[in-house]
Amino acid sequence: MTERNGKEFGLISRLNHWGVAAIFIGMLCFGFYLEFGDLAREVKGPLWGVHKSIGTLFLIFAVWRVGWRIFQGFPQEVAVMPLWQRFTAKITHWLLLLAVLLMPLSGVLMNIYGGRSIHVFDWFVIPSQGKNEMVAGIAHTVHEVAPYAISAIILLHIAAAVKHHIIDKDATLKRMIVQTGK
């Protein structure tokens, strides 16, 4: 049975949610740190390699995670909420799913169409596709600008989860952690 008919997130959905959330937030922090942190050039170079490798592998996890949600659908909300809150939650969840795909994809595209190959941990190489300034330019702009908007959306998302848990005292956060039997 898919999740769209029930009020539960299954184990796979919960593992997907927290696995992707941890790696994604880690990668956002890593990217900002490399971009703005006070690191020596010779340290930064290899660390960018690690950022690219993790990000490229993450794309596989992201496709699986988003595909699983689309296939499963969203379960019904556990809380009774005003229309604007249900609408904001829906939009936020879809934007987060988009972000999870957009960040690794834009990273890969800006590299391979910027004339650079991606060496994923010396395991395999995604070859350069030559230079396509339009694709590389759009992907680069997305990769540099989107993280600010995405960070704001994630903060809003976390604040909403905390509010549901502490103020409304409903099962919104709980059902993302354990099986509630509903």
Contact segment (CB under 6 A) with ligand HEM among 37-45, 52-60, 80-88, 129-137 equals: 52-60
Q: Which CB, 97 or 138, lies closer to ligand HEM?
A: 97
Decide: is 3 part of the binding site for ligand HEM (CB under 6 A). Answer: no
**Cβ-based neighbour number of residue 164 at 10 Å:** 21
- H or E element that contains 72: helix 41-72
* Closest by Cα among 161, 16, 155 to 85: 161
Decide: is 114 part of the binding site for ligand HEM (CB under 6 A). Answer: no
Tell me phi and psi for residue 73, to 5 degrees.
75, 170
What residue type is assigned to position 155 of the chain? L
Q: Which CB, 97 or 135, lies closer to ligand HEM?
A: 97
Residue 161 to residue 24: CA distance in whole angstroms? 18
Q: Would you tell me which residues interact with ligand HEM (CB under 6 A)?
A: 13, 17, 21, 24-25, 27-28, 31-32, 35, 48, 51-52, 55-56, 58, 69, 77, 89, 93, 96-97, 99-100, 103-104, 107-108, 111, 118, 143-144, 147, 154, 157-158, 161, 172-173, 175-176
